[in-house]
């Protein structure tokens, strides 16, 4: 649910050829200060949600890795208050969806999850980390980190499968230098929600 078929090829086979380097979860920490800039300079508030998207492998070892990720998240839940759920969408991708009003907790938790996949040899299965922000009403804006490209890009859906390109370029101009932003705009691929106002993982 929420991902278009074009994104399937981009995050899948073609992404292997277009990958600039191996996944590095340390890149995620640029979001730590970006949360502040988004609110103070642009009026975008933390939506209290973030997600990790990955492609699964039909193997016992990979299932054990996913179970390990869940165990880490469950262990940290009492310390951070970050809750989570996991599910697969209609396109065959898997999601770990995090909920927490503290953006630092969201960032730290998603880093732990991504790092676990990498340590277990499944960094190539990581597709994207998605950080959600609230705008007006039920609208959302996102910063999407592509593990294959090693960079962030903005995504602001508008209405039914339309994009607010003006808002995206504004996010780029303000956060450029604070986040490592994908310089090739042809890689700013949308992760469409199933419905206007929804989230890509729903």
Residue with tokens 């206007």: 196
CB atoms within 10 A of CB 13: 10
Paired residues of 188 in beta bridges? none
> Quick check: 8 pLDDT over 60?
no
The domain made up of 5-187 is a member of CATH 3.40.50.1000? no
Give the span between the Cα atoms of 170 and 137, in whole angstroms: 20
Q: How far is CA 174 from CA 37, 118, 178, in A?
A: 8, 31, 8
Per-domain residue ranges of the chain: 5-187
Q: The pTM is what?
A: 0.89
Residue-wise pLDDT for 43-73, tens only, equals 999 999 999 999 988 899 999 999 999 999 9
Element (H, E) at 152: strand 151-155
What is d(CA 184, CA 82) in angstroms, rounded to the nearest whole number? 34
pLDDT in tens, 140-198: 999 999 999 999 999 999 888 899 999 999 999 999 999 999 999 999 999 988 777 88
Task: Give the residue from 81, 84, 79 showing the smallest Cα distance to 102.
Answer: 81
The pLDDT value given to residue 111: 94
């Amino acid at each position: 649910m929420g991902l278009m078929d074009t994104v399937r090829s981009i995050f899948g086979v073609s992404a292997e050829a277009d990958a600039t380097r191996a996944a590095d979860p340390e890149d995620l920490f640029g979001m730590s200060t970006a949360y502040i800039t988004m609110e103070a300079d642009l009026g975008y508030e933390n939506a209290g949600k973030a997600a990790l998207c990955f492609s699964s492998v039909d193997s016992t070892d990979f299932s054990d890795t996913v179970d390990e990720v869940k165990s880490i998240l469950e262990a940290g839940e009492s310390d951070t208050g970050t809750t989570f759920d996991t599910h697969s969408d209609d396109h065959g991708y898997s999601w770990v969806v995090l909920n927490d009003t503290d953006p630092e907790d969201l960032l730290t938790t998603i880093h732990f999850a991504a790092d676990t996949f990498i340590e277990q040899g499944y960094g190539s299965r990581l597709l994207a980390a998605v950080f959600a922000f609230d705008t007006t009403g039920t609208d959302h804006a996102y910063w999407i980190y592509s593990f294959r490209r090693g960079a962030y890009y903005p995504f602001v859906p508008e209405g039914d499968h339309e994009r607010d390109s003006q808002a995206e370029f504004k996010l780029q101009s303000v956060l450029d230098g604070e986040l490592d932003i994908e310089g090739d705009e042809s890689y700013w691929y949308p992760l469409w929600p199933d419905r206007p106002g929804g989230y890509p993982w729903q």
